[in-house]
Amino acid sequence: MIKLAGKTLFITGASRGIGKAIALKAAKDGANVVIAAKTAQAHPKLPGTIYTAAEEIEALGGRALPCIVDVRDEKQIGEAVEQAVQKFGGIDILVNNASAINLTGTLETPMKKVDLMLGVNLRGTYLTSKLCIPHLLKSKNPHILNLSPPLNLNPIWFKNHTAYTMAKYGMSMCVLGMAEEFRGSIAVNALWPKTAIQTAAMEMLGGAEVGKQCRNVDIMSDAAYAILGKPRSYTGNFVIDEEILKTEGIKDFDIYAVAPGNALLPDFFLDEAEALVQNMGDQVVIPVVKGDSRSAATSGPIAETFNIIKGVLNPDIVKSTGGVYKFDLSGEHAGVWFIDMKNGGGSAGSGEPPVKADVVMTMDSADFTKMFAGKLKPTMAFMSGKLMIKGDMSLAIKMEKMMSMMKSKL
């Protein structure tokens, strides 16, 4: 059944990633798509513009309207909405996909970043919804779909990136409030992935290698398609992509895996992720905390671990890694340690690194020992709040090579 033929979708952030995937899925039905995004000229690191997205939409049989829009700007949103109504006769579906992310702690997050996340995620979603709703109310089966998570108040999802969580949950609160406010008139729902999704933004956060433990954007576009085909009475739901696709009869989810057979990286804000992490290979992701300059003991389990690290280091590992690591450990064997896998043949020891660290890892000394012994997976350490990371995420992933070499010696 062609669900979206002739429908008009207003999608923010649709020039790339999940937003574009939803647009292309709708285009196959012959839908009209308003591409409301900022990228009018090619970005040096991120693929796609509103114009290239429009070309792809029309090549699949849809009609496109590219609009240069900063979702924080009321005038730009208003003009894009009016252009959509003039060109297509109305708006049937709004997808609030545009989002900003900065996974840092309170002291490390500049107010400029805080304002950006609150402006794009919360204000942008509220503003775009407000300006589209008068037109949605005229549609036969209107929908608002926000790409945002369930409202999970577990402190673990706040402690490492409070500003991002507040901003993202702002989108979810729009779902909670507007679903009730417009019940019977507009379906308002949220969609969130169970696992990490391979996008340019994800690669910027976690490095190119993280893609192997992601699903592709098709799972989100298929899930969105399932939601948008439902009646307006389907409202107020916080939908997980895999769960709704199971109800649609999908059984083989390997079709969505970037690298079938690899363990998948769980996404944020889902407590169920812990069960998924149990089956994962080692993988480190995000956050931040500020260390201090405490001295470290020269004997004990941590010192023994670092003696083994010194024996493992070699020019090949240094060349392939290219990073300086600082470990700020608390607990029974508190102290500061470092591994230099960037200079010469590499070095490791207690105290501050000889040069500025590229990555700072903060955790309890007991968990550090378990992690390097292969008894605690870095992802589980992070997901449980035991590990916090500041710096280059790709370097955190590269360190796994050395950890795998050490497992047999610890």
Query: Catalytic site residues?
Result: 164
Q: How many CB atoms lie within 10 A of CB 343?
A: 13
Q: Can you tell me the distance from the alpha carbon of 39 to that of 51, in angstroms, rounded to the nearest whole number?
A: 9
Lookup result for tokens 């470290």: 296
Lookup result for tokens 């049937």: 92
Helix 301-312 with 365-372: angle, nearest 10 deg:
40
Q: Can you tell me the distance from the alpha carbon of 228 to that of 135, in angstroms, rounded to the nearest whole number?
A: 17
The CA-atom distances, in angstroms, between 335 and each of 291, 328, 351, 380 are 10, 6, 8, 23
Given a contact cutoff of 8 angstroms between Cβ atoms, the answer to whether 32 and 65 are in contact is yes
Q: Can you tell me the distance from the alpha carbon of 49 to that of 38, in angstroms, rounded to the nearest whole number?
A: 8
Beta strand pairing status for 187-192 and 143-146?
Answer: parallel
Given a contact cutoff of 8 angstroms between Cβ atoms, the answer to whether 176 and 151 are in contact is yes
